[in-house]
A and B are shown apart, each in its own frame.
Chain A
Amino acid sequence: MRPEPAFEAPWHAQLFALTVHLNETGVFAWPDWATRFGATLKRRGLEKDLNGGDDYFEAWLETLEALLTETGATEAAALAEMRAAWKAAYLRTPHGQPVTIKA
C-alpha cells in the first residue's frame, strides 16, 4: 500500500515548512496561528465550500502574509516586489536551468 503524498503541490510543502519553522523559532505562537487561520478559513468558506486542497493552502498563505506584515517581519510592498522579481526570473531563465533572482 503506497501512502498518499503528504503534500499535493511543492508550494504547499514549502509554505507548511516555512510556517512551522517560524513558529519554532518563536516568531509566533501556534494557538495564535490557529485562531487567525481558522478565521481566514471561515471567511473564505462563506463564499464557497473549500475543498481542502489549493484553496486551503491559499487561505494559509493569506494568513501567514497578514501575520508577518502585522508583526513587522515584512511589508506588503516588499512582498509584491519580491514576487515580481521571482516572476521575472522564471520568465528570463531558459527552460531546464536553475531559476535564481540574482541575475
Chain B
Amino acid sequence: MPHDHSDHDHPHSLLPPDPALRVKALETILTQKGLVDAAALDEIIDTYENRIGPRNGAQVVARAWADPEFKAALLADADPVLAELGFYGRQGEHMVVVENTDAVHNMVVCTLCSCYPWPLLGIPPGWYKSDAYRARAVREPRKVLADFGVTLPADCAVRVWDSTAEVRYLVLPQRPVGTEGLDEAALMDLVSRDSMIGCGLAGPQ
C-alpha cells in the first residue's frame, strides 16, 4: 500500500528545520539545569493556541458599546476594569484603550518589536510583526489603512500609537450604525481583531 510521502520513503524521522533543533537544544539544556518546566511550557502554548484570543477584546468592546459607565471607566483607567474581567497579566500589565470617533481614528503599532496586548488579542498576526507594517504604520498610516480596505473621510485624523514593553493599546472601534438592540454576543461578532488594532472597522465579519 503506497503511503502519503510524495517523493520517497523516509527511513528516519523528518529532520526539523535548524531553528527548531536550536530551540530543542535550549529547552533541553535549561530543563537539565532546572530552569524550565516542560509542563509549564505546554500550559503556555495551550493558553495562546486555544484559550486566549481576540474574543476577549471583542467582549470588552461590546460591553463598552452597550454600557456607557463601563466605557467611561475603561477609557479613564483600563487596568482595573480589565482586571475585573480577568483579562490581565502577561503583556497586559498597563493597558490604554483609545476610542475611535468621527474625528479621530486610532491605530496601534510596535515599532520596536511587536508589543501587543496578549490578554485581549492573543498572539499578534504575522503582518503586525512585519517590517512593512511596523515602518509604514507610522510613515503612511492612511496608505496602510487603504491596504486593509479602510478609507476614512479626509477630515478624520489618524493617530498612531506606538506600543512599548510598558504600555499597550487597544482600539475601541466605532459601533456600527443600526446595531441598537443587539445583545452582547451579537455585538461581539461585529468586532474583528483588526478593528481593535485600528486596521479595520467594526461590522459584519
Contacts and interface: CB of A to CB of B under 8 A. Distances in A.
The dominant DSSP class at the A interface is: helix
A56 B19 contact: no
A91 interface: yes
A88 to B, nearest CB: 10
A2 B174 CA distance: 24
Interface stretch (B33-41, B66-74, B75-83, B96-104): B33-41
Contacts of B12: 90-95
Contacts of A82: 24-26, 28-29
A78 B17 CA distance: 19
Interface of B: 9-17, 19-30, 33, 35-37, 40-42, 44-45, 48-49, 53-54, 90-91, 112-115, 122-123, 125-133, 164-166, 205
Interface of A: 1, 3-11, 13-18, 20-22, 24-25, 27, 30-31, 33-35, 37-38, 41, 45, 49-54, 56-58, 61, 64-65, 68, 73-74, 78-80, 82-83, 85-87, 90-97, 99, 101
